[in-house]
Amino acid sequence: SPIVSERGRLLERIYGDGIKPATQCAGTHIHFDAVDIPRQVNLLTALDPVLALVSSSPFYAGEHPMHSARPYAYRSLCGDAFTRFRDLQEYTVDTATWDERLAGEYETFRTLAADRGVSEAEFRAHFQPENAMPMPVRVRRRFSTVEWRAPDTALPSQVVRLAMDMSRIVEQTASKSVEVGEPGIDTDRIRIPAFEELLQLTAAAMEDGLQSPVVWEYLEAMTIDPADYRPIADEIDRHSPISVADARRIRLEYADRLERDVATLSMGTETRQHSPPSILTDGLQAATERLRPW
């Protein structure tokens, strides 16, 4: 999509051609009320492989065939100098450590911007530590939320289902500790994999999606049932080159599906008081009740 804001134009100056994935890859952002920031940050980081549940394209610009091509492109194809700002950050021990790490990355980004001709005044006017780095998990004090930005865009019904599952897990951080260990959720704690193991799980989720046994088992351990999801990426053959004509056909097909999906959600919302509970009739309201406005 074309860049229309001054912030966008500054990013274009800073990133150069590396800005293209950001302008061509839409994503899903979910904000959770900030209750215990270190626990929520670490848990949302550990849930990065969840992106396999809603991947909607096995190609980026007709290339890089893998199950989750767009999250991969967004994080990895922006240029070597910038990948550090867009990829997963290591777990944090407390809020102060997270803030210190973020401040250091912000200064590194400010130096890169200055090297590309962005003045100090321009930079400070459009970038703050909490919004300058588009990494998968961000603390947004402006909204009193922790923002999760890992997954691809998807059909609204899929996003509602995802928001419900994620909210159910994240809300447990209010009463349960988050610790590194054998992944799983107990009555008093949530166990997440070591960070290096997590990176391997995310790589498998991007490459093979739910076809990866280790990803499937990990999601089950974190109390998510992968069988509840039907990623669009699984419906598109990624083992053969995709032509421009095929890409246009697929876009039109899924535009029609999007329209039908929105209509189904809208109809379900209107009739939810007269219907049995379901993810389509109750999901959107439940998700918006749990998550504050962005």
Question: Higher model confidence: residue 43 or residue 287?
Answer: 43
pLDDT band at 269 (very low <50, low <70, confident <90, very high): low
In the block, tokens 């321009």 appear at 122
Which residues form the domain of 67? 6-290
pLDDT band at 281 (very low <50, low <70, confident <90, very high): very low
Distance CA 101, CA 84 (A): 12
Q: What is the pLDDT of residue 275?
A: 53
Range in 30-39, 161-170, 275-284 with the lowest mean pLDDT: 275-284
Question: Higher model confidence: residue 290 or residue 207?
Answer: 207
Residue range 243-252: mean pLDDT, rounded: 90
**Per-residue pLDDT at 277 exceeds 60:** no
194 within some domain: yes
Q: What is the pLDDT of residue 268?
A: 67
Distance CA 268, CA 162 (A): 18
Q: For strand 30-33 and strand 145-148, is the pairing parallel, antiparallel, or unpaired?
A: antiparallel
pTM, two decimals, is 0.87
Residue range 58-80: mean pLDDT, rounded: 87
1 within some domain: no
142 within some domain: yes
Domain count of the chain? 1
Question: Higher model confidence: residue 36 or residue 82?
Answer: 36
Residue range 2-21: mean pLDDT, rounded: 87
Q: What is the pLDDT of residue 80?
A: 86
pLDDT band at 39 (very low <50, low <70, confident <90, very high): very high
180 within some domain: yes
Q: What is the pLDDT of residue 286?
A: 40
CB distance 180 to 191 below 8 Å: yes
Q: What is the pLDDT of residue 255?
A: 92
Share of the chain above pLDDT 90, in %: 65
Q: Which of 82-91, 220-229, 263-272 has the highest mean pLDDT?
A: 220-229
pLDDT band at 292 (very low <50, low <70, confident <90, very high): very low
Cα 235 to chain centroid, rounded? 21
Q: What is the pLDDT of residue 274?
A: 54
Average confidence score pLDDT of the chain? 88
pLDDT band at 4 (very low <50, low <70, confident <90, very high): confident
